[in-house]
Amino acid sequence: MSPPRPERPRRTGRPGRPGHRSRYGRYAGGPDPLAPPVDLGEALDAIGEDVMAGYSPERAMREFLRRGGQDQAGLDELARRVAAKRREMLDRHDLDGTMREVRELLDRAVLEERKQLARDLDDEARFAEMQIGSLPPSTAAAVAELSDYSWRSPSAREDYERIKDLLGRELLDQRFAGMKQALEGATDEDRERVDAMLGDLNELLEAHARGEDTTELFDEFMDQHGDFFPERPANVEELLDSLAQRAAAAQRMRNSMTQEQRDELDALAQQAFGGPGLQQALSRLDQNLQSLRPGEDWGGSERFDGEQGLGLGDGTGVLQDLADLDELAEQLSQAYPGARLDDVDLDTLSRQLGPEAAVSARTLAELEQALRESGYLDRGTDGQLRLSPKAMRQLGKALLKDVATRMSGRQGARDLRQAGAAGERSGASRPWEFGDTEPWDIPRTVTNAVLRQAGGPETVAGGPAPTSGRVRLSVEDVEVQETEARTQAAVALLVDTSFSMAMDGRWVPMKRTALALHTLIRSRFRGDALQLIGFGREARVMEIEQLTALDARWEKGTNLHHGLLLANRHFRRHPSAQPVLLIVTDGEPTSHLGPGGDVMFAYPPHPHTIALSVRELEGSARLGAQTTFFRLGEDPGLARFIEHLARRVDGRVVAPELDDLGAAVVGSYLGSRGPGGPGGPPGAEPGGWFGRGFWVG
């Protein structure tokens, strides 16, 4: 029986439509066109966190893709599943399947022959019994010795012929997947066709190796023998690729066997149908493939420790699967130069781990592409990736929302609220939500209603849209005016950038706090002037992008004196604004600026360093600054020192947990410039969190 061509799927159609037939099934043409777009919010939050911890944006993006998200498997999880499947295959299988099957057929043939000989009473039967009883223990040697034996039992003869048939099909199945099943019950004519195919194939490959133009020869070969190759290669190179991969896997399977197993197999191969000629043709094929595809893994081996026997063809398939898994592991590692997630073979991943794994890998690739193309990452003048202003705004918004949630102790977009009469209009508006008391923005509200009705018929307030010239309002049309307090503030946020902040895990919370406050002021309190000042061995004014990307450096010194000098300069530049001084630190001042601008360092803190810091702090108080210290850590000496400083300037001290640092700083800012600050209601605590409402949405 000839190897059958693969059947084409039958088309089905609806009754009564003879001219039109449709076929329905799972969409398999690429990414799901109905799938929602990838959500960059979680990825951006994680990347921002790592960047603030000192990672480069490129590395931070890679780390997120490795970890994955809350509901998204990452590269590490996919690689773990690849490794687990590889271990499971090796732990389940061994390579004795064909040998066991041959032994079973041989034992059954010998048993049936013994039964027949026991019934026969002639002398020749006794001699045959002696011959059967003296078979060597080696399976291959026993099969070879029985090659000239005259079987008396028809069933025994049939089982013995099955051994030769099985060996031939297994040897072919090693090189041509599916041949074992296709040649079951094959006739002599089918075997002759196989011999002819092998001869023509070797001639084609040898001509190709000589550099000859084999286009016509390949076409003739496929016309005559194409049913042996259901994958339908388009040219000699594609044919070579598929054959070499399979042959290399067969060689690795052979390398994985013991020497005894290889010797048995070689001896048995001589008994396969076609005799030694089949083995010679296959050896010639292997030599041609090795010379044309030397880059394949011809020398590898595996250690199988299981008990489920594999036949030669199935074992070769398992070795191919193992090679696929190894290639997937390398692709998922992304450890080679120029690695991209587009390199991951989704078809192989789906075949080995299932379609869900391929969907996860495709989503990660889409995330990577979206992050690169969305404008969240851009390249600076030095060519390095960095977080763009757009990304900083998005991160700040997320951090501010988290801060507001912590301050309010409840979920929701609106966390603190004030009436519109408590401030002046900022010129901005936002959609109305339940509980708003701000005045309506009438032009925006009416414009929204007109645009909605002009877009087409829809339901308005429970009924159809009017067709007359009247404009009807709906709740979603309403916008309210944002208001700002009449008093502007000049805010100086001083953050300790000494190495102890990074060493004790305070580096990222400090940066998150600065970004949250920066976002709040830039988006809701645009009239306020914020200056970010980092003070380590020396102090400097920093943009938010510089601060969030700042790497921790081993520097001795906490120069509060220099930081306060810069803060007071900022306050003097805004004489009509309310000064607000916020200081985040975990250590006492240990350095100061000398008369010539040189940094002077001393530990333990020198009295002169302390005196200069106190003098500048009192200068801030004379400028009217409301001062709040945010003390990090549990050092009793630091606590006493900061309490003393706060009392000298009528300031306050907050000792927040790291997770609450952002809420503490933002709350202090809101209270310092609102009703709880100077001029606030009697009994209001300075720096309270109730002072100024803001919107996070």
By three-state DSSP, how is residue 694 classified?
strand
Confidence class of residue 2 from pLDDT cuts 50, 70 and 90? very low
pLDDT-based confidence at residue 210 (cuts at 50, 70, 90):
very high
Question: Which of 22 and 87 is assigned the larger pLDDT?
Answer: 87
Q: Average pLDDT of 125-146?
A: 89
* Alpha helices (H) along 334-384: 346-353, 355-373
Residue ranges of domains in the chain: 40-90+326-379, 96-303, 407-483, 487-695
pLDDT band at 526 (very low <50, low <70, confident <90, very high): confident
Whole-angstrom distance, CA of residue 278 vs CA of residue 438: 91
DSSP code string of 231-247: T--SSHHHHHHHHHHHH
Residue 535 β-bridge partners: 496, 539
Q: What is the CA radius of gyration of the chain?
A: 40
CB 662 within 8 A of CB 678: no
Query: Which residue would you say has higher pLDDT here, 506 or 397?
Result: 506
Least confident segment among 35-39, 165-169, 312-316, 447-451: 35-39
pLDDT band at 459 (very low <50, low <70, confident <90, very high): very low
Task: Give per-residue pLDDT as tens, 238-283.
Answer: 999 999 999 999 899 989 998 988 888 888 888 887 667 888 888 9
Is the predicted pLDDT of residue 675 greater than 60, yes or no? no
Q: What is the dihedral of CA 292, 297, 298, 301, to 10 degrees?
A: -170
| pLDDT range class, residue 169, cuts 50, 70, 90 | confident
pLDDT tens digits for range 351-363: 999 988 888 888 8
Sign of the torsion formed by the C-alpha atoms of 569, 570, 571 and 575: positive
Residue 375 — φ and ψ, nearest 5°? 90, 5
Q: Looking at the predicted structure, is the pLDDT value of residue 130 above 80?
A: yes
Please report the pLDDT score of residue 375 as a whole number.
Answer: 65
Which residue is associated with the tokens 């034996």?
149
- Which residue carries 């020192």 as its tokens? 641
Average predicted confidence (pLDDT) for the chain: 79
Range of weakest confidence among 60-64, 161-165, 335-339, 402-406: 402-406
Contact between residue 395 and residue 669 where contact means Cβ atoms under 8 Å apart: no
Residue 173: predicted pLDDT: 87
Q: What percent of the chain has pLDDT over 90?
A: 20
Of the CATH numbers 3.40.50.2300, 1.50.10.20, 3.40.50.410, 3.40.50.800, which one belongs to the domain with range 487-695? 3.40.50.410
Tokens at 470, concatenated: 């009247």
Q: What is the largest CA-CA distance in the chain?
A: 129
Q: How confident is the model at residue 677 (pLDDT cuts 50, 70, 90)?
A: very low
For residues 314 and 391, which has the higher predicted lDDT (pLDDT)? 314
Residue 637 has pLDDT above 80, yes or no: yes
CA 510 to chain centre: 28
**Which position has the higher pLDDT, 290 or 59?**
290
**What is the tens place of the pLDDT at every residue in 403-430?**
666 555 533 333 333 333 345 566 778 8
Check pLDDT > 80 for residue 477: yes
- The whole-number pLDDT of residue 488 equals 84
Q: Answer whether residue 693 shows pLDDT above 50.
A: no
Q: What integer pLDDT is reported at residue 399 of this predicted model?
A: 61
CA dist 163 and 69 (Å) reads 55
Mean pLDDT lowest among 43-57, 304-318, 331-345, 396-410: 396-410
Paired tokens of 13: 């159609």
pLDDT at 420 (0 to 100): 34
The three-state secondary structure class of 582 is strand
Judged against a pLDDT cut of 90, whether residue 372 lies above it is answered with no
Higher pLDDT, 617 or 272: 617
Q: Looking at residues 12-16, what average pLDDT do you find?
A: 41
The pLDDT > 70 percentage for the chain reads 77
Cβ neighbors of 664 (< 8 A, separation 6 or more) are 630, 654, 656
Which three-class secondary structure state does DSSP give residue 317?
A: helix
Ranking 48-57, 143-152, 457-466 by mean pLDDT, the lowest is 457-466
Contact 377, 61 (CB under 8 A): yes
